[in-house]
Structure 1
Amino acid sequence: MQTFDTSPEMPIVTHTDTSAPAGPWPRWFARMIDWIGFSSILSYLLAYIAERFSPTFYLDLTRASWGLIKWYYVPSFAIAQVFTIVVLASLMAMVGTTPGKAIFGIRVHPLTSGNKFAFYLQREFWVFIKGSAAGIPVIALVTAIIQYNRVKIRLPASYDVGTARVDGTDVSILRGSLGAVSFAAAIYLSTQAGKDTAPGLRQVQDWQNAVTFASAKISRVWAPQGTQLANKLDRALYGFSNPQLGASVTFLTEPCPTDSIDNISYAKVVKTSLSGNLIPVEDWEPFPANGIEALSVHAFKLSSLGIGQFGSLEDNEVIVAAHNGICGQIVISSSGKPVAERSFLRDTAAALISTIQR
């Protein structure tokens, strides 16, 4: 007897993974937004808190003592990078994404089971080492190119082999625009994080020139009136120093060699009389000084290979001005950071040089 199976035919279900590996450029931009943004914010906060409660510790954080490398890598930024690893790993473990990854639609899927935080912490560490060489110039570029070439042909980055799969989505105009704005914001934050953050640097006090009796407002980081190094009739020399910040300013007010001398001529006179083996290494450039026309030049200190009074490499700037028969010259010294990155030093110089007018 022939029987027929009248039960409905069961459809065959095929599970298709529609996700695709994230491309190298979206991954790079997402990483830069996260890394630069968080490390800059943390570096700023670290320096800000340290300066408020321990100026000496603030100096140690923002002024490295590792030779020339200090121009690229200061302790506050290095410490902030360690915290950034922890912050990013925590975000991945708790919410499964970071701001940069969310913007570009990037998802990281662990291929192993276990503690999520431990997994992401280890991954962030190896991304930092194998992906960006701990931020070391040139080497970081080489490691980035290596990882780019792997991801471009849809291979996992070396730090993800056997441990993680990184998926992405098409980058829409909205995602691309948001990513561009976020990347620009992260770069801006990084430029601000390198500046002195101390609120005390922006608090001012009144100061008076003993020669012209003109007044100016200068930062409170200096002792009131500074140290009068010399005062002879119509000539006065002042010294302002703050060892905790590794900064000093000397200011000389004197009669000009001739009443008709201009800034360029006075700059030539000063250049031949600079003390401490200061050698100008650039051309004189205009320096804004609160209504007084002045000139400035970057200078290098030959003695002790540029080692300054605060025990590390020193950056110097010389500023001169001549106005109605009164001349002024300033020497700024900064240890651990270029003068150009310490706005309070140039603000002090501008205020002081403006007092040569009676």
Structure 2
Amino acid sequence: MQQPASPNAPDKSGISALGHAPPPARWRTNNPSPWARWAARTIDTIVIGVSLTFLIGFVAVAVLPGETASALLSGPMFSSSALAGIMVSVLVVPFIGFTVGLMGSSLGKWVMGIHVAQADGTPIGVSRAMLREVNLFIIGLGMAIPIVTLVTQVMAYNRLKESNNTNWDEANSSVVRYLNHTWLTRCRAAVGIILTSILVGVLSAISL
């Protein structure tokens, strides 16, 4: 004789006998968020770039003779926004590659709810993450060269929306997961963006 189904047992539709739908998944791999990825990269670049700039300036003043340090800090690498942007974008690569390779995330990615891993959810490893960052820097950011970077970012945006993937993730066999939005994730992203904007404003005021 067939046993009666438990009142809490889910049916084939995924809805239980009591009418409760299964809890929604916390992460998703479809419906990518290009703007969240852009914001995560921007946060990482600003935070790491500012930290490295202050560190380089501190070491230069502490180690080099006064005139040499002054010449270095007032040189084109610091005074030219284009060269400074390229320099910071290059220096950011190993930092993000290291954290993504070990933990699948970075400060900016954590703020925006983004995780990079293998198909089984395990970290991709530092070497693969470094290669991913190099490909992203060249293909996605156009090596941070003015005008070129705008073109490559638009192309990467269109490809991500059309194919649900990017060249550097596809070549690296990495899977990007996005945290489904809740009030908590939205607040975290908003706070991260606001704090980064404040940091940019403070730096702009200092440089005036």
Output the TM-score relative to the length of structure 2: 0.70
Matched, 1:63 2:75: yes
2:94 matched to which residue of 1?
86
CA RMSD of aligned residues (A): 3.2
Alignment of 1:231-246 (within 5 A): none
Alignment of 1:19-98 (within 5 A): 19-21=28-30, 22-54=32-64, 55=66, 56-64=68-76, 71-74=80-83, 78-98=86-106
Taking structure 1 as reference, are residues 41 and 114 closer, same or farther at Cα in structure 2, changes over 3 Å only? closer
- One-letter amino acid of the counterpart of residue 33, structure 2: G
Taking structure 1 as reference, are residues 122 and 46 closer, same or farther at Cα in structure 2, changes over 3 Å only? same
- One-letter amino acid of the counterpart of residue 93, structure 1: G
2:7 matched to which residue of 1?
none
1:162 matched to which residue of 2?
171
- One-letter amino acid of the counterpart of residue 182, structure 2: S
2:192 matched to which residue of 1?
182
> For the Cα contact (< 8 Å) 1:46–1:80, is it kept in 2?
no
* Secondary structure of the corresponding residue to residue 82 of structure 2: coil
1:102 matched to which residue of 2?
110
Cα shift at 1:172: 2.5
Cα shift at 1:121: 0.9
Cα shift at 1:30: 1.4
Cα shift at 1:79: 4.3
Taking structure 1 as reference, are residues 187 and 44 closer, same or farther at Cα in structure 2, changes over 3 Å only? farther
Q: Unaligned stretches of 5+ in structure 2?
A: 1-24
Counterpart selection for 2:136 from 121, 127, 133 = 127
- One-letter amino acid of the counterpart of residue 102, structure 2: M
> Using the alignment, how far apart are the partners of 1:24 and 1:146 within structure 2?
12
> For the Cα contact (< 8 Å) 2:89–2:144, is it kept in 1?
no
Fraction of identical pairs, as percent: 23
* Secondary structure of the corresponding residue to residue 180 of structure 2: coil
**Structure with the higher fraction of residues in strand conformation:** 1
> Using the alignment, how far apart are the partners of 1:74 and 1:57 within structure 2?
18
* Secondary structure of the corresponding residue to residue 107 of structure 1: strand
- One-letter amino acid of the counterpart of residue 89, structure 1: G
- One-letter amino acid of the counterpart of residue 105, structure 1: G
Cα shift at 1:98: 0.9
Output the TM-score relative to the length of structure 1: 0.43
Taking structure 1 as reference, are residues 138 and 80 closer, same or farther at Cα in structure 2, changes over 3 Å only? closer
Taking structure 1 as reference, are residues 155 and 58 closer, same or farther at Cα in structure 2, changes over 3 Å only? farther
> For the Cα contact (< 8 Å) 1:133–1:140, is it kept in 2?
yes
Taking structure 1 as reference, are residues 93 and 159 closer, same or farther at Cα in structure 2, changes over 3 Å only? closer
> For the Cα contact (< 8 Å) 2:141–2:152, is it kept in 1?
yes
Cα shift at 1:192: 5.1
> Using the alignment, how far apart are the partners of 1:23 and 1:154 within structure 2?
13
Matched, 1:138 2:147: yes
Cα shift at 1:60: 2.0
Cα shift at 1:19: 3.1
